[in-house]
Amino acid sequence: MTYEELVKNHSGDMIEKLVTDVVSKDAVEIRFEFEENEQWSVISMFIYEEDKEISLRLHSNERYEIYFGYYDDEDEFFEITQPLTPEEIKIIPKGLQKLMKKVLDDEQGMRLPGNFLSK
């Protein structure tokens, strides 16, 4: 299975893995990021041994997407994004959704205990 197929066909599993990872951490950072006219809040997990990143992004208009970044064998970096379906959004804990919206609205990141996100 290619990474494109993984993101396209298994976004729900990736979201569950990300949420499980972040709620188990002592501290989690929800970042505010922007590029040109686009801005979003983001929460990420990194798989350092495999040079991979899985992130959940919230854009304006409650538009969520899964982000997958990785390095290939030649150390070239690739990014894959996929908009989330309403069913996939339901996987995200309500507490995390509210905090990501706050970060986006305030244009300022925050750091908090991981277990706070599961509420």
Interior angle at CA 53, CA 15 and CA 79, nearest 5: 100
Q: Looking at residue 48, what is its pLDDT?
A: 86
Q: Looking at residue 56, what is its pLDDT?
A: 97
Q: Is the dihedral of CA 11, 13, 16, 18 positive or negative?
A: negative
At 84, is the secondary structure helix, strand, or coil? coil
- Asked if 79 and 92 touch (Cβ cutoff 8 Å), the reply is no
Q: Looking at residue 119, what is its pLDDT?
A: 59
> What percent of the chain stands above pLDDT 90?
73
In the chain, where the domains are located:
3-108
CA distance 119 to 100: 13
Residue 24's pLDDT band, with cuts at 50, 70 and 90, is confident
Residue 115's pLDDT band, with cuts at 50, 70 and 90, is confident
With a cut of 90, say whether residue 40 has pLDDT above it.
yes
- Tokens read off for 22: 């972040």
Q: What are phi and psi of 25, to 5 degrees?
A: -85, 155
Q: Residues 63-89: pLDDT tens digits?
A: 999 999 999 889 899 999 999 999 999
Of the candidates 95, 117, 118, 107, the residue with the CA atom closest to the CA atom of residue 29: 117
Q: Residues 52-64: pLDDT tens digits?
A: 999 999 999 999 9
